[in-house]
Structure formats: structure tokens, C-alpha cells
Amino acid sequence: MTGFVRLEVDAGMGTVRLDRPPMNALSRAVQDDLRRVAAEATERDDVRAVIVYGGPKVFAAGADVKEMASLTHADMAPLARSLSAGLGALAGVLKPTVAAITGYALGGGLEVALACDRRIAAENATLGVPEILLGVIPGGGGTQRLARLIGPARAKDLVYTGRFVHAEEALAIGLVDEVVPADDVYARARAYVEPFTRGPALAYAAAKKAIDGGLDVDLHTGLDIESDLFAGLFATDDRRIGMASFVEHGPGKARFTGR
């Protein structure tokens, strides 16, 4: 454990804080920390939603190229899947996750953000996957999550050219979901996830499993996944609480326990 990534918990919100100045370069040690912190966020009952934040100036400007420059194929072959697992570790957190993006989110930094459910970007944010300029391709999930998010043609444009995308274009193509003033990014992320801290945690987990799992299979199989997860929620306290509250008081007034 290096301390380059830490989990800060407050009022049901867990902030995964990237902290490797000056640019939060995603070294192997940072990737290990991301896996550790993602596991911690998953296991802790007092974390109901997660924000990923690199600080007020930069989200993460990519992998540590100096660390990789001397590696051979024989060196990278056993490491590549570990790199992908580290940069994509937040995708496995079965709680609502939001990337709060300031400054640069490039290469591996963007891949970390792509592993989240939602992306809120500062007006001055710059995003991209410039790995092609180094003679490689995105290796932390970028080719797969980017194509699923913005479509294959736009993903190929960004991967082939390595060009940078500024906040407004990122919003227009669906790469980010909101653009706000730079000083408001973290506060907006907190405001977005705060309602989830009082919501039905097991239903959020089921929704995430259904949506993400359904993207990888045909429609018929996806509907089966949805049906099984839907039925499973009838074993939860929150389903009982939510339906009883709806019948007695109308929608939106249930006080869920997360169980």
C-alpha cells in the first residue's frame, strides 16, 4: 500500500481520492491501490455511493510512461490483465459511482473515469486516449468501455487520432454526462450521489448488475438476468419497506435500511 489512492468516507459517501502529484500518473503502485480501495468501498456498509476525484487541478493524466518505456513484450504480457483490472477496478463496485473530472483525464485517467457509472466534468476538462501517439492502444479498458459508451465510430476516431476532447465536445458525444464550472465539480458530484446514501442499496446493486451484465449478452439472456435479479429483491427488507410505504403514503417517502 502506497497511499497514492485513499478512501475518505463522509455521510454515506466514499471519495476515492487520487493523490500522486503533480499529475496523478497511474503507476503500477497506483493501480494496486485502486484495486485495494475499490474492494474497501465494496465491503464497507457505511459507503453507499462513491465519488472518484483527483483534486481541483487534475483528475489523472495517464499511465506512468517512464515506468513502461523499458518493458518488453515478455515483461508486459503477464502484466496487461493486471493493468486492465486496476484501472477498471471501480466497475466492480456495486454501488453508484461518479467520476468528478477536473483538468486532464487522459489515457489511463480516462479509463478510470470510464469504469464509473457517471462522469461530471469541469468546463476546463480535457479528455482523451492518446496512447496511439506512443505506438500502443488503450490497455485499461478504453477500447471496450469507450465503444460501448459513445459508439464504435466515435471511439475509433478518438483512439486512431489520439486527439484531445474538451468538455463541451465530450458532453455532446456522450463521453461525459454533465459539465459544470471547475470550482463546482466535486460539490456537484456530492449533490448527485447524496440521495443514493438513503436509497435501497441492494436494488442499486441489482440494477448495476442487470445493466452492465445485459450489455455483454443478447437481449433474451439480458431479460433473464433482469428477471432473476428483480425476483431476488423480493427477499429484501427494502422491497417490503418500499412497497408498504408506497401503499400507505405514496411514492418517494420510504425510509430504506439498505438490507
CA separation for the pair 12, 196 (Å, rounded): 9
Three cell numbers at 56?
Answer: 481541483
Give pLDDT tens digits for 164-210: 999 999 999 999 999 999 999 999 999 999 999 999 999 999 999 99
The contacts of residue 2 (CB under 8 Å, 6+ apart) are 29, 30, 32, 33
CATH number of 200-249: 1.10.12.10
200 Cβ neighbours under 8 A, 6+ residues apart? 236, 238, 239, 242, 254, 256, 258
Q: What is the pLDDT of residue 1?
A: 52
Annotated catalytic residue, options 43, 67, 123, 131: 131
Judge whether 43 counts as a catalytic residue. no
CA distance 169 to 66: 30
- Report the distance separating Cα 178 and Cα 185, nearest Å: 9
Looking at every residue in the chain, the average pLDDT score rounds to: 96
Q: Give me the residues of the chain with pLDDT under 70, please.
A: 1-2
Of 111, 169, 178, 194, which is the active-site residue?
Answer: 111
Q: Single out the residue of 103, 113, 112, 95 nearest to residue 9, CA to CA.
A: 95
Q: By CB neighbour count within 10 A (0-12 exposed, 13-18 middle, 19+ buried), where does 73 fall?
A: exposed
Return residue ranges of the chain for CATH 3.90.226.10. Answer: 5-196
- Verify whether residue 8 is a known catalytic residue: no
Question: What is the predicted pLDDT for the residue at 63?
Answer: 87
Cis amide prior to 200 (ω within 30 degrees): no
Q: Give residues with Cβ within 8 angstroms of 77, minimum separation 6.
A: none
Predicted TM-score of the model (pTM):
0.95
Question: Looking at this protein, which amino acid is placed at residue 253?
Answer: K
In the structure grid, which three cell numbers stand for residue 14, read together? Answer: 466514499
Per-residue confidence (pLDDT) for residue 3, from 0 to 100: 86
Provide CATH code, domain 5-196: 3.90.226.10
Give me the pLDDT at residue 171, please. Answer: 98
CATH 1.10.12.10 in the chain: give the residue spans.
200-249
